[in-house]
Amino acid sequence: MEQESLLESTSENTIAEALRRLRELYNKEGVAFHERILKKIAELQKRYPDYDEYQSYHLAIGSSEKREKLDFPGEDSIFEWLKKMNNE
């Protein structure tokens, strides 16, 4: 039970951080960032038939729906992609 609570808290922190990064990028780049994120989403939709099951996908499209899977694996991670975009 305690481990579940820790995982949930970590997930909430990760999502909050990603939302902050999304806002920063939209404020900084506007339409240019919107086009970049749409391209990233389209790539993921092609690679992952279950893309709709990922929380990070819903975050990227502006949906607040909760999902079981937090983020795409490895280089497809939206959370890591947002970090990279913030550092450019």
Q: What is the pTM of this model?
A: 0.81
Closest CA to 52 of 38, 40, 63, 37: 63
Q: How many domains are contained in the chain?
A: 1
Rounded Cα distance between 75 and 70, Å, is 14
Predicted local distance difference test score (pLDDT) of residue 4: 45
Predicted local distance difference test score (pLDDT) of residue 37: 93
Query: Which range marks the domain in which residue 50 is found?
Result: 2-87
Mean pLDDT split into 10-residue runs, the chain, 88 residues: 46 85 91 94 96 92 86 93 85
Residue matched to tokens 């999304």: 22
